[in-house]
Amino acid sequence: MKKILLFLTVTIIAVVAVVFYRANTVFENNQYQVTEALHPIQIDESAALHRFADAIKIKTISYDDATKLDPKAFLAFHQHLADSFPLVHQQTTLQKFNDYSLVYHLKGQNNKLKPVLFMGHMDVVPVDPNTAFEWLQPPFSGNIVDGTIWGRGAIDDKVTVLALMESLEIFLAKGITPQRDIYFSFGHDEEAGGDGAQAIAKYFAAQSIEFEYILDEGGLVTEGIVAGTSDPIAVIGVAEKGFVNFDLTVRSKGGHSSQPPAHTAAGILAAAIVKVENNPFEENLDFLGLMFENIGYSMPLSQRLPLSNLWLLEPLVKSAILSNPTSAASARTTTAVTMLQGSTKSNVLPTVAKATVNFRILPGDTIESIRAHLEEVIDDPRVELSTSLANEASSVSPTEHLGFKLIESTIRRIDDSILVTPYLIVGATDSRHFQGLSDNIYRFMMVSLNQDTLSQFHGLNEQISVQNYLNAIQFYYALLEQSAIAN
């Protein structure tokens, strides 16, 4: 017995020693090491801020119903860009797609270098009339109050469009000749599916234009959002989830509710829904692992210990990740039953019962694998499956490529207190339409948000600090200049 106890004691001590050793050695500081900070460019801050504010005032709203689009607003926005950035309009070629989406092309000297594409979108989501009165500043005012710029589009996504245009205007004013071609692509309906971006992507494909890398909106600098660390963290999207709606439909003869069958169409459908919700997709920690590899060293011991010892504690880690909807969204294909349809009257049996289930597809899963999963778990031929609004998950862009390295180093050279890591975009961007035009698609905007300001995306009181906007101009200028001359 003493030998057994001794053996158990030694084993426990050894395991504890290994666990703590790994907690202190597995995660290394592999952040880009800054040897020379970026020299900020001179910006006419007052003029830049007013150009941005005036852009916010223009109601370039996207609606799901495309007939509601206001052409005058988008044409006014185009004119605002033309009036505000004369050098850009003199020295680039401008093309329009689907009437309102824009592509600017700056020609480079070396045709052997692949071009670089910077993306953003001009449109914004509507303001809910039921909550418009809750805005602290009018939603399309562009008011600048106490170092803050207010209005719809301030962070999604006129900040990208205007900051890019400011950076290119300054670049051209310096008389720098780019070695590679530079393209800007500004969609007009990203918030409603991105038909403009699709048209642009088809044009590039028809012209056999491939890009060294593409940068779109998406990731940002998070403050207090990533659990376990207080450091600001820049998350660069290297992939984004796909999406698909599956309609589950059950048909029956209907009739009067006084003579119901054992299971109505609605009841059969309800049973199918329960099966779908009770059988979620398998978790995959690859993308969270990418983040931990880069920022794990900065986390406290309580976080590092389980993350560095998945060989022992993986079930606990997975349970913690899946218990939080935010982290769970990065670890699996998500399932959300969103719409239901049955009878139109309480005493009438439904002839058709339908549910819409929205899936956000983790790279590695596909629309067909989701269909196979549904067929297996529902296991009822009375439930028909059909799809709508389908888009596969993106491929995963490498972190060793020039594009990622330039984005990473530029962020760190602007502010080396910011940690940089790749991550998975759980929403959708216009860049999803550009798969096949580059293997290196990244999603990031130089905007710092915390838990409070993050909720302003598509919500109340959208705003951006003046410093954030000026930082975005500095970021895009530095990236533009480096990309224009990099081999």
CB 419 within 8 Å of CB 31: yes
What does the block give as tokens for 312? 């022992």
Q: Taking the CB of residue 282, how many other CB atoms lie within 10 A of it?
A: 11
Distance between CA atoms of 243 and 50, rounded to whole angstroms? Answer: 38
Q: Which of 215, 116, 260, 142 is nearest to 431 (CA)?
A: 215
How many H-runs (helices) and E-runs (strands) does the chain carry?
15, 17
Question: Using an 8 Å Cβ cutoff, are 214 and 239 in contact?
Answer: no
**Per the residue annotation, which of 123, 166, 189, 217 is the catalytic one?**
123
**Considering only CA atoms, which of 391, 459, 362 is closest in space to residue 197?**
391
Q: Return the amino acid letter for 310.
A: L
Question: Is residue 223 annotated as part of the catalytic site, yes or no?
Answer: no
Provide the token pair at 209: 């234009």
CA distance 233 to 238: 15
Return the SS3 of 375: helix
Task: Determine which one of 166, 190, 212, 481 is catalytic.
Answer: 190
Query: Of 291, 388, 386, nearest to 330 (Cα)?
Result: 291
* Alpha carbon 437 to chain centroid, angstroms: 19
d(CA 95, CA 92): 10
Q: Is the peptide bond before 157 cis (omega within 30 degrees of 0)?
A: yes
Identify whether 282 is a catalytic site residue.
Answer: no
Beta strands in 230-301 (DSSP E): 233-240, 242-251, 255-256
Instruction: Please report where in the chains the tokens 């998350």 appear, as a residue.
Output: 235
Residues 6+ apart with CB under 8 A from 460: 131, 134, 135
Residue 94 neighbours by CB under 8 Å, 6+ apart: 102, 103, 104, 105
List, by residue number, the catalytic residues: 123, 190
